[in-house]
Each structure stands twice: as structure tokens, then as C-alpha cells.
């Protein structure tokens, strides 16, 4: 029996900005069992308070540098038996806007204080300092927002083990030295072995330097982040700690993402009734204002419109795509220049491309079920979830060979087709030319329905459920517990 405190800055269905929300809303459920008890802890943002249902206050305490009393609220992660704890400090978390940024998309000016306070409160709970008579065996910390937790715990006697999971090295939580001192945390942490990074205060470095075990969300990304191209200056530290670093691919919550029982889609289907997928396609074409046509290949795109996702590689190929008669549906939001380019393309080619800027959970399901192909040209992708969803929906993924995309999609080379193991299309270079060559291959194969169906069906049969990954996390926790004992 082990007890796990799972700390995160977002979790479905309470609050989500990207894949971390999906993972934190489903991995704790997969881990929670008669043998392992999981408590999920996150800040009490306004939407989380609204979505959480019944909550009761179980502790009220002071945290140095907090602008108000802090309360610990307890409930259940909706739809599950996982215990939910929310760290409530209204001046910091109960405000309109997102978890990391205000309504205009600018990072909250006080993020160091907001997540610093969260980390301090979690480490107090982990050390049983609130009188709850409860102590976890492991604290599982996710991304930079939780990076100070292992650092605060590292020097404590009789502490729980710590695991730090990197979901994206591109987001590091970098602040100033003044913000470090304002947080009133032990000054010894300001060192090369702690949170100091080239004169800045780095939350992520706190986790990377001090956690008992490190993980990231795919085996390939675990290798990539040890190189200058993907390590953002922290590759040396990651290489140094590589004996403590593992890659565990994200799983899928098939209760939410499976065309057999997806309540959002027009017509359910399985690999045996894949012909019904076309009803979802025509509904999507109609909804997005595109001509309804069964034979025109339809490419879906969903994602945050940021450099990472490589949408510019795709935009560079728009003219060729239009000339071959394909349709493209796009859902996303992010950097204004990307949004603008997509909007211009949709205005120029209204018969072929339709774009929705914004965040729409339901439309994301319609795109997964109604598209023939799903494009992820990411420059880097720690794990990626949409290619995993696409496989299950028979929506053949076209991906760049990087991170979790490389670990989950098998290219439709002739050899792999013959062996009946192909599940999608993989291009090797993050260039418009490499993407174009692969788009051409995909569209040519789409015109051979028998071969195409084989690829769809092989993809639909893949199992990326959490079961396997949850087992790997439990083994990781055991290793962390061993290291903590010997530290
Ligand atoms: P990342 O975490 O880097 O954004 P992932 O592929 O891991 O990438 O996860 C993204 C998640 O967010 C998926 O569940 C995807 O469907 C969802 N998503 C991204 N953008 C949107 C959007 N505009 N509307 C609805 N869902 C979105
Ligand atoms: C990050 C990554 C994405 C990953 C997600 C959840 O946001 O960009 O690849 O799937 O975290 O781990």
C-alpha cells in the first residue's frame, strides 16, 4: 500500500489549458486502487471551485509571504473516488482569467508568488505540518509550477520521496532573484545545485536538481532533453541525472476519447463499423461550412498555436494542398500571428479551409471523429495526446518524428504496410519540404481505399490506455522511495 500526493497546476474536469490537464485528470484515477491511495492537489482557481462540487474545509493555516490565510478544501475529483485537495488563497487564485495568464493572455504578474505559495503549502502537507495526521510515501510533482516542492522537501528529515515529471522543457518558470527572496524560502536554495539558473530563479531547475526521480512523458523525449536542441540550457543537468530519468508515454482516457462511446459525436463507430465514420465527416463539413463531399480528404488540426506545434510548416504548404483538392479544419488559439495566418488562409480558400479560433472541447471531438487525417507537425512534442486520440478514431495521424509522436505512430512505409503494422505517416525533418513529401504520400494512399482502411484499422486497435503507463509510474515511485531512504 502506498500513498501518493499528486501535485499539479491543472486537471480535468476542473481546469485545463492543454495535455497536462488531461493527464492529471486521468492518471490519478488509473493509479488509485485498493493498493494505492492517491490525493490530487491543485490551486483553488475560480473554475476549479465551481466544478469541484461539494468541498469542506479541513485545515486553515498561515504560509509565510501569503497575502491571506490559506485553507485546505477537500472533495472528490468529479466522477471518481480520488480525493481532491484544493489550496485556497482567494487573492492569488480566485480571479477571472486562466491559471497562468490573464484574460489578455499575459502571464500573471505574481506567478512566482502564486505557485511559490502552492509549493510551500504542498510541502507543508507532505510533512504533516497541518495536523492532518497524514503523510504520503511519494509526492508526484508536475511541471515548473510544482518545481519547488522537491527542493523544499530535499533537506527535511523523515520526508516523503519525490518524483518530478517534465511535461514540457520549454516552460521553465523563470523569475528574478528579488522574487526568490520575496518568497521567504530557505536562502540555501539560491545555489547552482538549487534554483539558481544564470542569475535567474528557476522553478523547473528546483525539481530537476533535487527530486529523487525524474520522468518525462515519452522515452524519446527523455533522450532529446539531454541535448542542447531540446534541453534549453538544462541538458547538462539532465545528462548528469540521467540515471534518475525515465520516459513514460502518456495514456488515453478511453471513457472520454473513444468513438464507440463518445457522447459528443454524431454517430458512434468501432473498427468493425468504421463505415459510420463518414456520417461524422459530413456533419463536420457542414458545421464548418465546407462542401459536403465523401471523397475529398479532410485533414484535422487542433492545438495551441505556438512555435512548438510547427503550424508554419503546414502554412507554407497551403497552396499545394489547395491545388490537390483537400479540405482542412483547424481549431486552436495562441500567438496572434499564427491565428491571423490561419484566418487569412480560410478567407482566401473558403471551399477548402475552415478555421475556428478558440477553445472548444466538443468541436475537438467532432474533428477527431470527422477527419480522415490528423496533422501534428510539431517541432518537438514531449508526448502529445491528439495523435493517440486520432489512432483510436481511425483518423490517420501525420506526424513529425519527435518525442511521443515518434513513440506512438508507425510510418506507412511499404515494408510496414506489408507487415500490417503501419498506423500513420511520419516525416523526419521539421521542414516544409519534408512535410510536403509526406502529405503527398498520405493523399496518394488515401486514394487506395483498401490500403487506407488497413492503416485506419491497425491504428484503431492500438491500446494506449493508462494501464501500462500507470504500472510504470508505480515502479518509478518505488525507485524514488528507495532513493529517499538512502538520501
Ligand atoms: P499540449 O499539452 O502541448 O497542448 P497535447 O497534445 O498533450 O498538447 O494536449 C492538448 C490537449 O488540449 C488535447 O486534449 C487537445 O484536444 C486539447 N486542445 C488543444 N487546443 C484545443 C482547443 N482549441 N480546443 C479544444 N481542445 C484543445
Ligand atoms: C505538454 C506537452 C505535450 C504533452 C502534455 C501532457 O504540454 O507539450 O506533448 O502531451 O504536456 O504530458
Tell me whether residue 418 is in a domain: yes
> How far apart are the C-alpha atoms of 67 and 243, rounded to whole Å?
40
Query: What residues have CB less than 8 Å from 288, skipping those under 6 apart?
Result: 329, 354, 356
Residue 454's pLDDT is 97
Give pLDDT tens digits for 338-350: 999 999 999 999 9
Our answer on whether the CB atom of 301 is closer than 6 Å to any ligand 2 atom is no
Give pLDDT tens digits for 211-234: 999 999 999 999 999 999 999 999
Average confidence (pLDDT) over 64-74: 95
Residue 309's pLDDT is 97
Tell me whether residue 122 is in a domain: yes
> How far apart are the C-alpha atoms of 16 and 35, rounded to whole Å?
28
| pLDDT of 321 strictly over 90 | no
* Residue 411 bridge partners (DSSP): 424
Average confidence (pLDDT) over 373-383: 98
Instruction: Report the residue count for the chain.
Output: 487
User: For ligand 1, what atom is nearest to the CA of residue 309?
Assistant: 3
Query: What residues have CB less than 8 Å from 39, skipping those under 6 apart?
Result: 3, 4, 5, 6, 82, 83, 84, 85, 136
Residue of 149, 146, 138 whose CA lies nearest to 185? 149
Residues 479 and 452 in one domain: no
Give pLDDT tens digits for 447-482: 999 999 999 999 999 999 999 999 999 999 999 999
**Strands 161-166 and 213-216: what pairing?**
parallel
User: For ligand 1, what atom is nearest to the CA of residue 304?
Assistant: 20
Tell me whether residue 346 is in a domain: yes
Measured in Å, residue 359 CA sits from the centre of ligand 1 at: 9
**Nearest residue by C-alpha to atom 5 in ligand 2:** 19
Give pLDDT tens digits for 173-224: 999 999 999 999 999 999 999 999 999 999 999 999 999 999 999 999 999 9
Which residue reads 473513444 in cell numbers?
Answer: 258
Residues 307 and 227 in one domain: no
Average confidence (pLDDT) over 6-20: 96
Q: What is the pTM of this model?
A: 0.96
Using only the alpha carbons of the chain, give its radius of gyration.
23
Q: Residues 148, 120: contact at Cβ < 8 Å?
A: yes
pLDDT mean across residues, the chain: 96
> How far apart are the C-alpha atoms of 393 and 156, rounded to whole Å?
48
Our answer on whether the CB atom of 259 is closer than 6 Å to any ligand 1 atom is no
Residues 296 and 242 in one domain: no
| % residues pLDDT > 70 (the chain) | 100
Residue 93's pLDDT is 98
Tell me whether residue 259 is in a domain: no
| pLDDT of 62 strictly over 90 | yes
Ligand located closest to 386 CA: 1
Residues 213 and 310 in one domain: no
Query: What residues have CB less than 8 Å from 480, skipping those under 6 apart?
Result: 138, 161, 162, 163, 211, 212, 213
For the chain, the domain total comes to 2
Residues 331 and 421 in one domain: yes
> How far apart are the C-alpha atoms of 155 and 452, rounded to whole Å?
57
Query: What residues have CB less than 8 Å from 353, skipping those under 6 apart?
Result: 318, 322, 327, 328, 329, 330, 342, 345, 346
Residues 199 and 347 in one domain: no
Our answer on whether the CB atom of 331 is closer than 6 Å to any ligand 1 atom is yes
| CATH, residue 332 | 3.40.50.2000
Confidence of residue 487 (pLDDT cuts 50, 70, 90): confident
Residues 298 and 358 in one domain: yes
Tell me whether residue 374 is in a domain: yes
> How far apart are the C-alpha atoms of 89 and 349, rounded to whole Å?
49
Q: Residues 394, 457: contact at Cβ < 8 Å?
A: yes
* Residue 472 bridge partners (DSSP): none
**Strands 56-61 and 70-76: what pairing?**
antiparallel
Dihedral angle over CA of 459, 464, 468, 469, nearest 10: 140
Our answer on whether the CB atom of 86 is closer than 6 Å to any ligand 2 atom is no
For 362, the grid coordinates are: 466538443
| pLDDT of 277 strictly over 90 | yes
> How far apart are the C-alpha atoms of 143 and 153, rounded to whole Å?
16
Q: Which of 216, 300, 303, 390 to mutate to test the pocket of ligand 1 (most atoms within 8 A of CB)?
A: 303
> How far apart are the C-alpha atoms of 113 and 98, rounded to whole Å?
16
Residue 325's pLDDT is 87
Ligand located closest to 374 CA: 1
H or E element, residue 446: helix 432-446
**Nearest residue by C-alpha to atom 4 in ligand 1:** 18
Residue 116's pLDDT is 98
What is the 3-state composition of the chain as percent helix, strand, coil, each rounded to the nearest 5? 40, 20, 40
Query: What residues have CB less than 8 Å from 311, skipping those under 6 apart?
Result: 301, 303, 305, 332, 338, 342, 377
Evaluated on CA atoms 130, 43, 487, 183, the torsion sign reads negative
Residue 460's pLDDT is 98
| pLDDT of 279 strictly over 90 | yes
Average confidence (pLDDT) over 360-382: 98
> Which strands form 196-197's sheet, in the order they lie side by side?
174-175, 200-202, 196-197
HSE (side-chain half, CA atoms, 13 Å) at 355: 20
Our answer on whether the CB atom of 143 is closer than 6 Å to any ligand 2 atom is no
Residue 288's pLDDT is 98
Q: What are phi and psi of 482, to 5 degrees?
A: -60, -45
Measured in Å, residue 303 CA sits from the centre of ligand 1 at: 5
Residue 156's pLDDT is 96
Give pLDDT tens digits for 70-124: 999 999 999 999 999 999 999 999 999 999 999 888 999 999 999 999 999 999 9
Structural domain of 306: 274-460
Residues 329 and 183 in one domain: no
Average confidence (pLDDT) over 151-156: 97
Residue 114's pLDDT is 98
Residue 34's pLDDT is 78
Average confidence (pLDDT) over 43-64: 96
Residues 196 and 324 in one domain: no
Tell me whether residue 264 is in a domain: no
Measured in Å, residue 300 CA sits from the centre of ligand 2 at: 19
Residues 152 and 238 in one domain: yes
User: For ligand 1, what atom is nearest to the CA of residue 361?
Assistant: 25
Residues 231 and 296 in one domain: no
Average confidence (pLDDT) over 305-317: 94
> Which strands form 245-247's sheet, in the order they lie side by side?
56-61, 70-76, 83-88, 36-43, 2-7, 138-142, 161-166, 213-216, 245-247
Measured in Å, residue 480 CA sits from the centre of ligand 1 at: 30
Confidence of residue 145 (pLDDT cuts 50, 70, 90): very high
What is the three-state SS of 71-137?
Answer: EEEEEECCCCCCEEEEEECHHHHCCCCCCCECCCCCECCCHHHHHHHHHHHHHHHHCCCCCCCCCCC
Round to the nearest angstrom and report the end-to-end CA distance of the chain: 22
Tell me whether residue 113 is in a domain: yes
Residues 187 and 53 in one domain: yes
Tell me whether residue 258 is in a domain: no
* Residue 426 bridge partners (DSSP): 399
Amino acid at each position: 500500500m502506498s500513498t501518493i500526493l499528486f501535485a499539479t497546476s491543472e486537471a480535468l474536469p476542473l481546469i485545463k489549458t492543454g495535455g497536462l490537464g488531461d493527464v492529471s485528470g486521468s492518471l490519478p484515477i488509473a493509479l488509485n486502487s485498493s493498493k494505492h491511495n492517491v490525493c490530487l492537489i491543485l490551486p483553488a482557481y475560480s473554475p476549479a471551485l465551481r466544478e469541484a462540487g461539494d468541498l469542506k474545509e479541513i485545515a486553515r493555516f498561515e504560509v509565510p509571504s501569503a497575502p491571506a490565510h490559506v485553507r485546505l478544501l477537500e472533495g472528490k475529483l468529479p466522477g471518481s473516488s480520488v480525493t481532491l485537495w484544493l489550496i485556497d488563497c482567494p487573492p492569488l487564485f480566485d480571479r477571472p482569467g486562466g491559471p497562468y495568464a490573464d484574460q489578455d493572455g499575459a502571464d500573471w504578474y505574481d506567478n512566482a508568488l502564486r505557485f511559490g505559495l502552492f509549493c510551500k503549502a504542498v510541502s507543508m502537507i507532505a510533512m504533516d505540518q497541518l495536523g492532518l495526521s497524514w503523510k504520503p510515501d511519494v509526492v508526484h510533482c508536475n511541471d515548473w509550477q510544482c518545481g519547488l516542492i522537491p527542493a523544499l522537501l530535499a533537506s527535511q528529515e523523515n520526508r516523503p520521496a519525490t518524483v518530478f515529471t517534465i511535461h514540457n522543457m520549454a516552460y521553465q518558470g523563470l523569475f528574478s532573484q528579488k522574487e526568490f527572496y520575496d518568497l521567504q524560502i530557505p536562502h540555501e536554495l539560491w545555489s547552482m545545485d538549487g534554483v539558481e539558473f544564470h542569475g535567474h530563479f528557476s522553478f523547473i531547475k528546483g525539481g530537476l536538481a533535487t527530486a529523487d526521480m525524474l520522468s518525462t512523458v515519452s522515452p524519446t523525449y527523455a533522450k532529446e532533453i539531454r541535448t542542447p536542441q531540446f534541453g534549453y540550457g538544462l541538458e547538462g543537468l539532465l545528462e548528469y541525472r540521467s540515471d534518475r530519468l525515465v520516459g513514460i508515454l502518456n495514456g488515453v482516457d478511453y471513457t472520454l476519447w473513444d468513438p464507440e462511446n463518445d457522447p459528443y459525436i454524431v454517430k458512434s463507430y468501432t473498427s468493425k463499423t468504421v463505415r459510420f465514420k463518414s456520417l461524422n465527416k459530413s456533419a463536420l463539413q457542414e458545421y464548418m461550412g465546407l462542401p459536403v463531399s465523401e471523397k475529398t480528404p479532410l485533414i484535422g488540426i487542433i492545438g495551441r498555436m505556438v512555435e512548438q506545434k510547427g503550424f508554419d510548416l503546414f502554412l507554407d504548404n497551403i497552396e499545394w494542398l489547395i491545388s490537390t483538392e483537400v479540405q482542412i479544419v483547424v481549431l486552436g488559439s495562441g500567438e496572434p500571428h499564427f491565428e491571423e495566418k490561419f484566418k487569412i488562409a480560410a478567407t482566401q480558400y473558403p471551399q477548402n479551409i475552415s478555421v475556428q479560433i478558440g477553445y472548444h472541447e466538443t468541436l475537438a471531438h467532432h474533428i477527431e471523429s470527422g477527419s480522415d487525417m490528423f496533422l501534428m507537425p510539431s517541432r518537438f512534442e514531449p508526448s502529445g495526446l491528439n495523435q493517440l486520440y486520432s489512432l483510436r478514431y481511425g483518423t490517420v495521424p501525420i506526424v513529425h518524428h519527435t518525442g511521443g509522436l515518434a513513440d506512438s505512430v508507425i510510418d506507412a512505409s511499404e515494408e510496414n504496410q506489408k507487415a500490417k503494422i503501419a498506423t500513420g505517416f511520419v516525416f523526419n525533418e521539421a521542414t516544409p519540404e519534408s512535410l510536403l513529401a509526406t502529405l503527398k504520400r498520405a493523399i496518394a494512399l488515401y486514394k487506395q481505399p483498401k490500403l487506407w482502411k488497413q492503416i485506419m484499422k491497425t491504428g484503431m486497435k492500438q491500446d494506449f490506455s493508462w494501464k501500462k503507463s500507470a504500472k510504470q509510474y508505480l515502479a518509478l515511485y518505488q525507485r524514488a522511495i528507495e532513493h529517499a531512504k538512502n538520501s
